[in-house]
Homo-oligomer: A and B are copies of this chain.
Amino acid sequence: MSFIDRLDAAVEGKGTPAMVGIDPHLDLLPEEFSTARDERVHRADRARALERFCVELLDVVADRVAIVKPQSALFELLGADGVRAFESVCAHARSAGLIVLGDVKRGDIASTASAYAEAYLSPDPKSGVPLCDAITVNPYLGRDTLDPFVDVCGETGGGIFVLVRTSNPGSDLFQHHGNPPLWSAVARSVDAVGERLLGACGYSSIGAVVGGTHPRELAEIRAALPRTCFLVPGYGAQGAGAEDVVAAFPDRARPWRGAIVNSSRGIAFAWRKMEGVHWKDASSVALDEMIAELARVLETGRT
Contacts and interface: CB of A to CB of B under 8 A. Distances in A.
Interface in A133-161: 138-145
Contacts of A111: 25
Q: How many copies does the complex hold?
A: 2
Contacts of A167: 109
Given A142-B170, A143-B173, A177-B182, A87 B76 contact: no
A81 B119 CA distance: 12
A143 B115 contact: no
Contacts of A48: none
B115 A79 contact: no
Contacts of A76: 83, 115-116, 119-120
A169 interface: yes
Given A107-B138, A141-B174, 16 more contacts: A43-B125, A73-B112, A74-B112, A76-B83, A76-B119, A77-B118, A79-B87, A79-B119, A80-B81, A80-B86, A140-B166, A142-B166, A142-B168, A142-B175, A143-B173, A144-B173
